[in-house]
Amino acid sequence: MVMREQDVLGFKHRFIAGSDVVTSPTLLVLHGTGGDENDLVGLGQTMLPGANILSPRGKVLENGMPRFFRRLAEGVFDLEDLKARTHELADFVLAAARDYGFNAGRVFATGYSNGGNIAASTLLLRPGTLAGAVLLRPMVPLVPDTLPDLASSPVLIAAGEMDLIATPAQTHDLTELLRKCGADVEVVHQPVGHQLTQADVEAARRWFGKHA
């Protein structure tokens, strides 16, 4: 297994080669607020065994905590920064595919909270970057002026029924938005708040087994 830690291609990140760099799917793992490129590596390997793992660190700092884009307050996003950071992340994925040699057409994302939000934004603003995504406790990041065609993009949303951040209303609105774009959206609910559970991991593993 090849593992590289790099501060190149625009992001500090980790890349861990899977069973075969060229033929294996690649899992883009995106941490939540205050996380880094190490946080979700093990989780990603559990969700999609044998995959390449590409794990960048968010470049925005909020009180010293890394994030993938700025927010103005809890649940209030800086939309211009979000758009710019989304395109920056999508460009990074393409550059990483060229550098590491993995298949850019088989990149899936799994992101938690802030990471889930930018993964959803990538689906909406840069369709084709991701072959699909597992969104863990996401919110609606933005509504694009022109809805993309996501007919070939399966999505799993893992929601907490008692989540006060990514609320059930947010889950509903994001599900409807992605379905309006043609995405095949599956939603799983856990009887918890914003924290992740083993049931989320098992649901993601089953989902990847069908789609990746």
The CATH number covering residue 93 comes to 3.40.50.1820
| Set 24, 55, 113, 153: catalytic member | 113
What pLDDT is stored for residue 74 in this prediction?
83
Q: What is the 3-state secondary structure (H, E, C) of the chain?
A: CCEEEEEECCEEEEEECCCCCCCCCEEEEECCCCCCCCCCHHHHHHHCCCCEEEEECCCEEECCEEECCCEEECCEECHHHHHHHHHHHHHHHHHHHHHHCCCHHHEEEEEECHHHHHHHHHHHHCCCCCCEEEEECCCCCCCCCCCCCCCCCEEEEEEECCCCCCCHHHHHHHHHHHHHCCCEEEEEEECCCCCCCHHHHHHHHHHHHHHC
| Set 87, 172, 189, 194: catalytic member | 194
| Set 24, 163, 200, 211: catalytic member | 163
What pLDDT is stored for residue 23 in this prediction?
97
Residue 7's pLDDT band (boundaries 50, 70, 90)? Answer: low
Q: Which of 4-8, 48-52, 60-64, 91-95 has the lowest mean pLDDT?
A: 4-8
Q: Which of 8-12, 115-119, 128-132, 165-169 has the lowest mean pLDDT?
A: 8-12
Q: Which of 1-15, 17-31, 69-83, 116-130 has the lowest mean pLDDT?
A: 1-15
What pLDDT is stored for residue 2 in this prediction?
52
Residue 163 catalytic? yes
Mean pLDDT of the region 119-139: 98
What pLDDT is stored for residue 1 in this prediction?
45
What are the angstrom distances between the C-alpha of 22 and each of 26, 42, 98, 109, 129?
A: 9, 21, 11, 17, 17
Residue 116's pLDDT band (boundaries 50, 70, 90)? Answer: very high
Q: Taking a C-beta distance cutoff of 8 angstroms, is the pair 123, 179 a contact?
A: no
HSE toward the beta carbon, residue 47, CA cutoff 13 A: 32
Mean pLDDT of the region 175-184: 98
Residue 153 catalytic? no
Residue 194 catalytic? yes
Q: How many domains does the chain have?
A: 1
Q: Taking a C-beta distance cutoff of 8 angstroms, is the pair 60, 85 a contact?
A: yes
Q: Taking a C-beta distance cutoff of 8 angstroms, is the pair 165, 135 a contact?
A: no
pLDDT tens column, 135-155: 999 999 999 999 999 998 999
Residue 10's pLDDT band (boundaries 50, 70, 90)? Answer: confident
List beta partners, residue 55: 14
What pLDDT is stored for residue 158 in this prediction?
98
Residue 5's pLDDT band (boundaries 50, 70, 90)? Answer: low
Mean pLDDT, the chain, whole residue set = 95
Residue 81 domain boundaries: 3-211
